[in-house]
Amino acid sequence: MKIAYGVAEAIGYREQMEDASAIWEIDEGGLFAAEVYDGHSGKAAALAAAKMMTPCLRSLLRRATEKGEGPPSLSSLVREAYLVTDAAIVESGLEEGAAAATLHILGERFVAANAGDTRVIMGKGEGWVQLTLDHKPDVPEERMRIERLGGSVIVWGVPRVQGILAMSRALGDPSLKPFVTSEPRVTEGLLGKENDVAVIACDGVWDVLKPGEVIVLARREPDPRKAAETIVARALEAGTTDNVTVVVLDLKGYTATFPREQMQVLSVLDQASGGDDGP
């Protein structure tokens, strides 16, 4: 059964829209992807990532399968897709950057990843779970990594890498490397019947709305497109001045036939902060 989804966006009070999103439904292999990219200093990096990320992952999956070395590690392949996409953005000469959040689903398996302050949250029973972490310069592990590399975190309104960027991980941003890394945090697991909805959104939502409130809004509206529009409208009402992009996935029909009731997290991969945390 296919996954129902809806996408909504608004420019907010910014002069231009710098977000991008992508939905991929690849029948060959059954891969589904939902992605949100929050650009800064322009939209070019966000657009490039939206076009490249999942085709890159698909190519990596095909290559791993052809090698016949057993089931590929989706976490490691998603990580590689982030790094390859980042390298392509930099090599193209773009100076812009973009925060990224992606959710890939392959059968019962899911992989949620991010670099920056975009998020993936998922309904879990009557509650919810956040599958990503915000990468901010003042997070102790992020600050230590930046300073160990010779960079600095300077407060200019909010903590910023080199006094410039208010996030410590992103795609692109060649002028801020190696302090701003594209290394993603990747969570891999198995879906269960309890997973009814997922939301991928940029910080224009999370700056003004709590995850629990967003999940309630996503569940309240049976049409995921209308649910996404409702979340965007609520973020604007709550006072966000940023671009807003929301993707809502209705997982109820998709997970209804799965054998397990509860989701299972298998691993958390984060090479920038120390490696694989295991299940």
3-state secondary structure string across the chain = CCCEEEEEEECCCCCCCCEEEEEEEECCCCEEEEEEEEEECCCHHHHHHHHHHHHHHHHHHHHHHHHCCCCCCHHHHHHHHHHHHHHHHHHCCCCCEEEEEEEEEECCEEEEEEECCCEEEEEECCEEEECCCCCCCCCHHHHHHHHHCCCCEEEECEEEECCCECCCECEECHHHCCCCECCCEEEEEECCCCCCEEEEECHHHHCCCCHHHHHHHHHHCCCHHHHHHHHHHHHHHCCCCCCEEEEEEECHHHHCCCCCCCCEEEEEEECCCCEECCC
- Give the per-residue pLDDT at 279: 45
Domain presence at residue 269: no
- Give the per-residue pLDDT at 73: 87
Give the HSE-up count for residue 210: Cα atoms under 13 Å, Cβ half-sphere. Answer: 5
- Give the per-residue pLDDT at 55: 97
Domain presence at residue 265: no
Domain presence at residue 276: no
Q: Count how many domains the chain has.
A: 1
Ranges in the chain, pLDDT < 50: 278-279
Domain presence at residue 42: yes
Domain of 137: which CATH number? 3.60.40.10
Q: Which domain holds residue 240?
A: 4-259
β-strand 19-26 against 153-156: which pairing, if any?
unpaired
Domain presence at residue 18: yes
- Give the per-residue pLDDT at 7: 99
Domain presence at residue 229: yes
- Give the per-residue pLDDT at 42: 96
- Give the per-residue pLDDT at 27: 77
Domain presence at residue 92: yes
Domain presence at residue 270: no
Q: By the 8 A CB rule, do 205 and 191 touch?
A: no
- Give the per-residue pLDDT at 1: 72
- Give the per-residue pLDDT at 151: 98
Confirm whether pTM is higher than 0.85.
Answer: yes
Q: pLDDT tens-digit profile of 55-83?
A: 999 999 999 888 876 667 899 999 999 99
